[in-house]
Amino acid sequence: MRELSLTAIALMIAAVPLSSQMSRPQSLTLPLECPKGDCPLLRGAPQTTGMRSGFVRLKPGASVGWHTTNQNEEALVILHGRGEALIEGQAKLAIAAPGLAYIPPLTRHNVANTGTEPLEYVYVVAPANGR
């Protein structure tokens, strides 16, 4: 096995940032302006420690499509309109403003606008803590 010199070890240690050297997320505010139908708000690290979020506007009859947030949990904050949270293997969940829907980790799901007005919501996705 090859031996490393003390200089090489010191250089490797210096290359690893200390937690005090890492940039920490900063408080911020964001407008809910979205010219498209789906706009990211929080994008994860380094802006946050893992949380992501975005604003969604669905036209009547539209859906976001089936997806999963893998090991993350998700909250949908319903701001305007009504629709359904479709959860694979479960009954449809009615959603309406003002309201909140929770999607557990490892859950395949879809959101559909069943109303006559746009359905607007903010999604918040965060790493599940494994408890």
pLDDT score at 90 = 92
- pLDDT tens-place string over residues 22-70: 567 777 677 777 776 776 777 777 777 888 999 999 999 999 999 998 9
Is residue 99 domain-resident?
A: yes
Structurally, the chain folds into a number of domains equal to 1
Residue 16 lies in a domain: no
Percentage of the chain beyond pLDDT 90 is 56
Q: Is 122 helix (H, G, I), strand (E, B) or coil?
A: strand
Q: Please, what's the b/e burial string for 95-106 (b: 16 or more CB within 10 A of its CB; e: otherwise)? A: bebeeebebebe
| CATH number, domain with residue 80 | 2.60.120.10
CA dist., res. 6 & res. 104, Å (int)? 48
**pTM exceeds 0.95, yes or no:** no
Inform me whether the pLDDT recorded for 20 exceeds 90.
no
| Predicted pLDDT of residue 22 | 54
Q: Which helix (H) or strand (E) holds 7?
A: helix 6-15
Residue with token string 């790493």 = 127
Is residue 13 included in any domain, yes or no? no
Of the CA atoms within 13 Å of residue 53, those in its CB half-sphere come to 18
Would residue 21 count as lying in a domain? no
